[in-house]
Amino acid sequence: MTYRCTGCGSTWSDEKLAEEKRNNPKLISCCPERKMQPETWGVSVSVFGENILTIESAHLSGVSNIDSYTETIRNCAHHLLSFIGDSHGERRDTEKQP
């Protein structure tokens, strides 16, 4: 798992930072009080303000009647893919063309 500093975004461990400072005494850490957090991701789907599905790097949860939201969740997934394209590198159009 990768850890990232919440202040500067560095992924150097404390040991790596100390080593780099020994090699380059002029190196200054922008975060004197480093706070390293696991680098995680998450996506939530809400319908009318109610969180119905949460998918995170180490967590998955959904409402008990998740089957009622199948079309909504698929629609959300299509919109997410529209930002990055599908596995073949093609972007999807989410808007209907005239």
31-60 tens-digit pLDDT: 767 777 778 889 999 999 999 999 998 899
Q: Return d(Cα 56, Cα 17) in angstroms, integer.
A: 29
Domain that holds residue 16: 3-38
Mean pLDDT of 93-98: 49
What integer pLDDT is reported at residue 91 of this predicted model? 52
pTM of the model: 0.55
What integer pLDDT is reported at residue 18 of this predicted model? 84
Residue 96 within any structural domain of the chain: no
What integer pLDDT is reported at residue 21 of this predicted model? 84
CB 7 within 8 A of CB 36: no
Same-domain status, 49 and 31: no
Q: Return d(Cα 63, Cα 71) in angstroms, integer.
A: 15
Structural domains in the chain (count): 2
- Work out the pLDDT band at 89, boundaries 50, 70, 90: low
Tokens for 31, please give them: 């975060």
Same-domain status, 58 and 30: no
